[in-house]
Amino acid sequence: MDHKEERRNCVKVGKDLAGKYLTFRLGAEEYGLEILKVREIIGLMNITSVPRTPACIRGVINLRGKVIPVVDLRRQFGMEEVEDTEETCIIVVEVTAGGDGVEMGILVDTVSEVLDIAESEIQETPSFGEGIDTGFILALAKAKGSVKILLSIEKVLSQREAAEALLAVRGVERKESVVAGAAE
Domain with residue 139: its CATH number is 2.40.50.180
SS3 113: strand
Whole-structure pTM over 0.95, yes or no? no
pLDDT, residue 12, reads 53
Cα separation, 167 vs 68, whole angstroms? 11
Contact (Cβ atoms closer than 8 angstroms) between residue 59 and residue 70: yes
Print the domain residue range for 66: 3-183
Number of domains in the chain: 1
pLDDT, residue 9, reads 46
- Residue-wise pLDDT tens digits, 145-163: 899 999 999 888 875 555 5
